């Protein structure tokens, strides 16, 4: 989905000229559509009620909008081959966008052109010209389908509705006929292809706009009923999964792209339709409210949306993560207006926290330049002393259905991006993200204090795509767009995921290289101040070196390398056991006219390695003394196993024992009968938790043994068939693969008494 902005700028009053032309099948109730028109104005334009046009920054921004609209009006020169001499023709994005901007200046106060007849007439003439020469009922749809069915009709309908007093019945009838040709009612019959998820919400929005333009109650009802397939949880493919994953294009995690579009669209529709005959009352719509906390908030860090859920959009210019973060924040505040009070209070505090902490691209300042409605809502929250600024929540969130994990601790945050037989290695399309090959090869993102722009400021055009942090890769050169487009790049790996108790986690990926013979087993153990990274079974026959990239930071900070550890000033520390040489590189990289400095640390496994391995600790935000002390204390996080059969660690100070069993077997005090992830945590108060997951979603039965005395299982689980306590704990689970979509959402978690 590409094209113009997803924000909707819809109408204020004066649709009398439109209603007859579009020929509704049932007689419209004028009062009902008057209400609907008012809601469009209040919700999408933010006026009245959201901001005062006489105050700054609104006064200046509205004046600039008016000046822009005046230039567009005065330079419009309709001919058979153009509408504006400076725009290519036909244009499916820029021309409708200009018409919409003119219509907004007509509809909003303070522009100097508010309700100005000449501007309204120019908008109407521009729409007529465009529908006659480009977006005609009998035109041939070429290029991207999205432009014809979503982007262009939505912008044109916006403009027509906003300047309705000057759009004639004939002009509206032609526009409606064109929309009906490219977005017929049958377009919403089947929930498949490019009519799912965010695309379906967009198509329903276009249908509702068409209903408003024609005062057509039947189309309004269709727009709402066709939303219903969006709401239920899915167990595969596009939509929301119970673990908080959101997928689009069948296999691409996309909260920071299509998901943000979906959330914005639904928040708008909920607000606009409230109190009308078409109010959204589907019981399954509660999924959207749940998604704010489960699907979106975990991937927003200090106001920016993490790139590992932004698909091909990561290459769309610098600071795209902050733009998407603002879009999500705007949608959350709008959704809060129709949500229950508890959610409303929690979300307002959450967004306030994001805004307060986003010092890289201050959210309020940026909103003033792009979205006055959001600026008004955010200003109200920031000025409200009764709304606290919520802190970043500590803990771990694992998303097995999208092969993602996010870990938050005091002062730092980390996230890992993987790929599986269900989740794409990366997405490219429309010429975007052609070198994102290894973003799903275990890329480990991390932020310490002051790092809010680390992946924002020209990172993607300048970073070495073969040396993304955390990845294990063959250095074989790949062509741009290697693998299938639109997320059709899934490896055969089944064991991808892990287990978490909500505080710590054991995460693993059976890695297969892209267009490569590379195979490896990678694990990350997320702790309080450290991520312990293990790799094993690293095998390749590509005839080139294989590397594990410990880190690749966009910085020229001082790097200290000592025996067993390294430290990067202002960033953090790395512990690498003695005898494993750490390679380093400082380089300036230039692309797209910008240059950035990178510091790279990696482990070289040589050409065609056979069962190579690695161990290193990442310590975000740590100082050199802390890093050196950790290197001198190897027993703090002791490696229990690091092979292609098991990878595990024990951390006595935290009471943590965690093992990823690639096959059944034994590691430390844990034994498993089959492939699984196990995390045991001794809480130090006479109890312990045992968390078990089946990432492959394949086990009919699983037995796990913890070789520690246990008195009783004090809180069980429906899948626990049998528990044997005493000198050791033996747990037998029935069909863990069948629970909540085959471990896509939660792991089996028990509480036991150790006294």
Active site residues: 199, 249, 258
Which has the closest alpha carbon to 441: 507, 533, 497, 512?
512
Which has the closest alpha carbon to 614: 630, 626, 622, 602?
602
- Residues sharing a CB contact under 8 Å with residue 466, sequence separation 6 or more, in sequence order: 438, 473, 475, 547
For residue 658, what is the enclosing H or E element? strand 656-661
Which two three-digit tokens encode residue 670? 């844990």
How many Cα atoms sit within 13 Å of 139 on the Cβ side?
22
Coil vs helix vs strand at 257: helix
Which two three-digit tokens encode residue 602? 């990696």
Distance of CA 433 to the CA centre of its chain: 16
- Residues sharing a CB contact under 8 Å with residue 395, sequence separation 6 or more, in sequence order: 407, 408, 502, 503
Distance of CA 717 to the CA centre of its chain: 32
Alpha-carbon separation of residue 595 from 457, 461, 570, 587, 592 (angstroms): 10, 10, 21, 10, 8
Roughly how many angstroms between the first and final C-alpha of the chain, as a whole number?
57
Which has the closest alpha carbon to 435: 315, 519, 325?
315
Neighbour count for residue 229 (Cβ, 10 Å):
20
Query: DSSP assignment of 565-614, as one string?
Result: EEEETTTEEEE--TTSPPEEEEEEEEETTEEEEEEEEEEEEEES-SSEEE
**What span, in angstroms and rounded, lies between the C-alpha atoms of 645 and 611?**
11
Query: DSSP assignment of 154-184, as one string?
Result: HHHHHHHHHTGGGS-HHHHHHHHHHHHHHS-
Ranges assigned E (strand) in 489-544: 496-500, 505-512, 519-526, 531-539
Coil vs helix vs strand at 226: coil
Residue 175 — φ and ψ, nearest 5°? -65, -45
Per-residue DSSP letter, 147: I
Query: DSSP assignment of 85-132, as one string?
Result: TTS-SS-SSHHHHHHHHHHHHHHSTTSS-TT-HHHHHHHHHHHHHHHH
Which has the closest alpha carbon to 640: 681, 611, 669, 675?
669
How many Cα atoms sit within 13 Å of 106 on the Cβ side?
34
Neighbour count for residue 141 (Cβ, 10 Å):
11
Which has the closest alpha carbon to 507: 668, 397, 357?
397
Distance of CA 52 to the CA centre of its chain: 33
């Amino acid at each position: 989905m590409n094209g113009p902005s997803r924000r909707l700028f819809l109408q204020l009053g004066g649709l009398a000229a439109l209603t007859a032309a579009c020929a509704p099948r049932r007689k419209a109730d004028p009062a009902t559509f008057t209400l609907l028109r008012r809601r469009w104005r209040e919700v999408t334009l933010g006026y009245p009620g959201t901001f005062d046009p006489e105050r700054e920054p609104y006064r200046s921004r509205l004046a600039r909008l008016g000046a822009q609209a005046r230039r567009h009006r005065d330079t419009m020169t309709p001919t058979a081959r153009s509408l504006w001499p400076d725009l290519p023709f036909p244009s499916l994005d820029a021309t409708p966008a200009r018409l919409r901007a003119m219509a907004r200046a007509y509809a909003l106060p303070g522009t100097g052109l508010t309700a100005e007849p000449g501007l309204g007439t120019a908008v109407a003439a521009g729409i007529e010209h465009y529908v006659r020469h480009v977006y005609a009922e009998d035109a041939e749809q070429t290029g991207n389908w999205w432009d014809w069915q979503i982007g262009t009709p939505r912008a044109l309908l916006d403009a027509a509705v906003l300047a309705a007093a000057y759009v004639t019945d004939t002009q509206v009838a032609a526009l409606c006929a064109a929309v009906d040709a490219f977005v017929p009612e049958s377009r919403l019959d089947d929930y498949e292809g490019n009519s799912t998820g965010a695309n379906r919400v967009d198509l329903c929005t276009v249908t509702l706009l068409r209903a408003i333009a024609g005062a057509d109650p039947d189309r309004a009802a269709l727009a709402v009923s066709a939303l219903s397939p969006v709401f239920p949880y899915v167990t595969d493919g596009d939509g929301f999964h119970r673990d908080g994953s959101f997928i689009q294009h069948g296999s691409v995690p996309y909260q920071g792209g299509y998901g943000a579009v979906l959330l914005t669209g639904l928040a708008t529709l909920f607000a606009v339709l409230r109190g009308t005959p078409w109010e959204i009352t589907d019981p399954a719509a509660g999924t959207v409210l749940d998604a704010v906390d489960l699907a979106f908030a975990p991937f927003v860090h200090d106001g920016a949306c993490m790139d590992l859920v932004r698909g091909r959009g990561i290459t769309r210019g610098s600071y795209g993560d902050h733009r998407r973060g603002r879009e999500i924040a705007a949608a959350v505040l709008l959704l809060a207006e129709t949500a229950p009070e508890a959610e409303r209070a929690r979300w307002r505090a959450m967004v306030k926290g994001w805004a307060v902490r986003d010092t890289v691209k201050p959210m309020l300042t940026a909103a003033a330049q792009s979205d006055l409605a959001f600026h008004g809502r955010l200003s109200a929250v920031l000025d409200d002393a009764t709304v606290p600024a919520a802190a970043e929540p500590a803990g771990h969130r694992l998303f097995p259905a999208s092969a993602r994990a996010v870990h938050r601790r005091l002062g730092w945050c980390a996230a890992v991006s993987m790929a599986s037989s269900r989740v794409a290695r990366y997405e490219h399309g429309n010429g975007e993200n052609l070198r994102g090959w290894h973003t799903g090869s275990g890329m480990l993102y991390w932020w310490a204090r002051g790092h809010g722009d680390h992946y924002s400021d020209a990172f993607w055009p300048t970073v070495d795509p073969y040396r993304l942090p955390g990845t294990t890769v063959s250095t074989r050169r790949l062509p741009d767009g290697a693998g299938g487009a639109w997320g059709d790049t899934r490896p055969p790996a089944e064991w991808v995921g892990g287990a978490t108790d909500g505080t710590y986690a054991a995460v693993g990926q059976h890695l297969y290289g892209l267009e490569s013979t590379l195979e490896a087993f990678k694990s990350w153990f997320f702790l309080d101040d450290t991520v312990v990274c293990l790799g094993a079974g690293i095998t390749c026959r590509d005839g080139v070196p294989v590397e594990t990239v410990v880190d690749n930071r966009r910085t020229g900070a001082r790097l200290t390398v000592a025996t067993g550890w390294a430290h990067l000033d202002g960033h953090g520390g790395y512990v690498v056991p003695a005898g494993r040489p750490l390679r380093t590189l400082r380089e300036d990289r230039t692309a797209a006219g910008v240059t950035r400095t990178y510091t790279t640390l990696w482990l070289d496994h040589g050409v065609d390695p056979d069962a190579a391995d690695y161990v290193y600790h990442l310590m975000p935000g740590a100082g050199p003394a802390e890093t050196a002390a950790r290197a001198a204390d190897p027993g703090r996080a002791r490696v229990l196993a690091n092979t292609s059969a098991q990878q595990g660690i024990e951390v006595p100070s935290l009471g943590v024992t965690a093992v990823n069993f690639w096959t059944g077997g034994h590691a430390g005090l844990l034994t498993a009968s089959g492939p699984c992830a196990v995390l045991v945590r001794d809480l130090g108060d006479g109890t312990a938790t045992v968390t078990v997951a089946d990432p492959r979603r394949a086990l009919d039965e699983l037995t796990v043994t913890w070789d520690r005395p246990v008195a009783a299982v004090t809180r069980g689980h429906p899948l626990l068939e049998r528990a044997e306590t005493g000198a050791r704990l033996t747990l037998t689970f029935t069909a863990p693969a069948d629970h909540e979509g085959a471990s896509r959402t939660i792991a089996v978690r028990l509480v036991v008494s150790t006294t």
